[in-house]
Amino acid sequence: MENSCQKESKYIRHFTDVDALFKILEGGLRFSKPSTKWDDENDLYCVNKYAELIGKDVYVLCFCAGIGNIHHWTYFGSSIISNTCAYCYKTIKCNIKLNRAKVEKALKEQGFRQLEPMIYCTTKRLKENFNNKHQLPYLKRNEYCIEQELRSIIECEKGIINSPSLIIPLECIEGINILIDKNSKKVYNSIKKELESRYPHLKGKIDFNGSMDSRRWKTEVNKIINNKEITDI
């Protein structure tokens, strides 16, 4: 399979908004039914075609193993505004960094299908990569391979009103990164305070706009400079 950009990762991320984050922490990650709101209409087509072939509704739960996930930051961050009102959390995007092994354990314990990597391939190589209808929900164009997406799917009888949810044990959560600009730091502090008040386990795990990664980066740069490991060219 043309899966060259899929790499093993200890961590996976789920992208959402802050309003949904509180709901996830309370009631779990909800498997979603494909909708026209999906960014990739070809992905939507494949999942819907699979549902049509098996005569059932198909729900999916998506994670990304990509380091940095630049595509997602760009896409999900497009609606951010400078001075977000304190209770308009739907406009504030975030990602939940999760321990992959613990998430897979939770999926198994709760009776859900394990995570499967997406099959990324070009149109030219579609035929040699795709040979089974059960691959349809995992089939994606090669342009999206930077996501390194992993997906769990559920096949349900038609007409189910409420889609299933995966309860996320707090110990699965390695960090929460809130995409917010410096002008909205007051709102970030409010969100952080509320999260830590409700879920003490999250203390020290919440940052904004990659600030924790930024601090680590600067620390490593300074180590190199201080150790004189760089030379003039």
Per-residue pLDDT of the chain (233 residues), as tens digits, is 445 565 678 999 998 889 999 999 999 999 998 888 777 889 999 999 999 999 999 999 999 887 554 445 444 444 444 444 445 677 788 889 999 999 999 999 999 999 999 999 998 888 888 888 999 999 999 988 888 899 999 998 887 767 889 999 999 999 999 888 767 788 889 999 999 999 999 999 998 877 777 777 788 888 888 876 555 54
DSSP letter, residue 74: H
pLDDT at residue 171, rounded to an integer: 92
Backbone φ and ψ for 17, nearest 5 degrees, come out as -120, 170
Answer for the pair 18, 178: CB distance below 8 angstroms, yes or no.
yes
How many separate helices (H) and strands (E) can be counted in the chain? Answer: 7, 11
Q: Which helix (H) or strand (E) holds 154?
A: strand 149-156
Measured over the CA atoms of residue 20, residue 211, residue 188 and residue 195, the dihedral's sign is: positive
Q: Which of 211, 213, 169 is nearest to 67 (CA)?
A: 213
Distance CA 64, CA 15 (A): 8
CA distances from 223 to 8, 98, 215, 216 (A): 28, 28, 12, 11
Answer for the pair 205, 173: CB distance below 8 angstroms, yes or no.
yes
pLDDT at residue 169, rounded to an integer: 92
Distance CA 175, CA 35 (A): 28
